[in-house]
């Protein structure tokens, strides 16, 4: 079983079907394709900033290894370790990029396949009743006006005996 996070469009309301049309499901865990293809995986998923960062990291490691005079075996091991790190963090960078674009995580589901995760996420999204704002003001039944309320443990200790 794998965990998938749901990232709907900005302004999508829970319970409405059109909020799921352009939603993204991001699988958690190691990404073999990000491990194998590195920056190309990020560019394929339209994660331009993260892809550019990974490209700069790989180029910097290559030039740094040449500058330090590493043997080909050491350079290979270093590249392999960086690729493992990229595979481990690809999903997290994808979620971070979506959150920066106004698509934070709105739900998480556990499923055996992406299709099952999509079905579970859609079912949960559509089954939830939308949160509506109350029609009455929040401070309508309060005896003290909101400006007189104090934050702390003893808001009425002074001046009210």
Residue whose entry in the numeric block shows the structure tokens 């493992």: 84
Chain-centroid distance, C-alpha 154: 40
**pLDDT tens by residue, 125-138:** 888 766 555 555 55
Contact indicator for 39, 55 with CB cutoff of 8 Å:
yes
Q: What is the mean pLDDT of residues 133-148?
A: 56
**Region class of 127: left (phi > 0), else alpha (psi between -120 and 50), else beta:** alpha
Domain ranges of the chain: 2-127
**pLDDT tens by residue, 80-135:** 999 999 999 999 999 999 999 888 899 899 999 999 999 999 999 888 766 555 55
Sheet holding 24-27, edge to edge: 24-27, 2-7, 107-111
Please, which residues bridge with residue 24 across strands? 7
**Nearest partner of 12 among 105, 82, 115, 123, judged by Cα:** 105
Burial (CB < 10 A; 0-12, 13-18, 19+), residue 106, is: middle
145 has pLDDT over 90? no
């Amino acid at each position: 079983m794998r965990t998938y996070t749901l990232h709907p469009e900005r302004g999508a309301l829970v319970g409405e079907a059109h909020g799921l049309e352009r939603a993204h499901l991001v699988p958690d865990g190691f990404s073999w394709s990000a491990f194998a293809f590195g920056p190309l995986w990020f560019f394929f998923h339209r994660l331009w900033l993260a892809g550019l960062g990974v490209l700069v990291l790989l180029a910097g490691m290559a030039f740094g290894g040449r500058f330090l005079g590493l043997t080909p075996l050491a350079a290979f091991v270093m590249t392999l370790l960086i690729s493992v790190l990229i595979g481990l963090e690809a999903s997290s960078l994808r979620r971070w990029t979506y959150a920066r674009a106004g698509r934070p995580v709105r739900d998480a589901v556990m499923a055996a396949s992406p299709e099952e995760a999509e079905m579970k996420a859609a079912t949960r999204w559509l089954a939830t009743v939308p949160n509506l704002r109350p029609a009455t003001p929040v401070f309508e039944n309060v005896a003290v006006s909101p400006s007189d309320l104090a934050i702390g443990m003893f808001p009425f200790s002074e001046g009210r005996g």
